[in-house]
Amino acid sequence: MRIRNLNHSTYQHQYHIVWATKYRRKILKPYVLTELKKILYATVKKYPTLWIENLNTDQDHVHLQIEIPPNIAISDAVSVLKSNSSRYLRSKFKFIREIYLEKDGIWSVGYFSSTIGLNETRIKRYIEWQGKKDHSHNSRLFT
């Protein structure tokens, strides 16, 4: 994972985000995935502090490994990605427009998120070693 900087903070925040198609419809065919990737990466380019590390789908849900800085709420980042991709895919594919007649979009409400970080045991050990005499050993705990 990359260590990133803002004006007054340094962070290393990666998330595993999953969201599903509405009614779990299997619309994410390989040719749709190509267009989905295109719009998600284009959306992230507008927000330079967001970074997609990895992206894949099954036919009815999206898995995303993404860096989100501490000054952007996870819900805001997911909302932008879902709304932009929904609008784009509906405009691009007639069969998606026909399946989802309502204007609510193609994605189900909500999402799953979990943090991706350093090993829990390693962090616990690092915290326990704080204040010990051998400071050079502390730096080796994260290597």
∠93-94-98 over CA atoms, to 5°? Answer: 125
pLDDT tops 80 at residue 117: no
DSSP structure class, residue 108:
P
Q: H-type helices in the chain, by residue range?
A: 30-45, 74-92, 94-99, 120-129, 135-140
Give the per-residue pLDDT at 5.
Answer: 87
Domain boundaries, the chain: 4-117
Give the model's confidence band at 120: pLDDT under 50 very low, under 70 low, under 90 confident, else very high: low
pLDDT tops 70 at residue 138: no
Q: Is the pTM of this model over 0.85?
A: no
Give the model confidence (pLDDT) of 25-43 as tens digits.
999 999 999 999 999 999 9
Between CA 74 and CA 51 the distance in angstroms is 13
Q: Does domain 4-117 have CATH number 1.20.20.10?
A: no
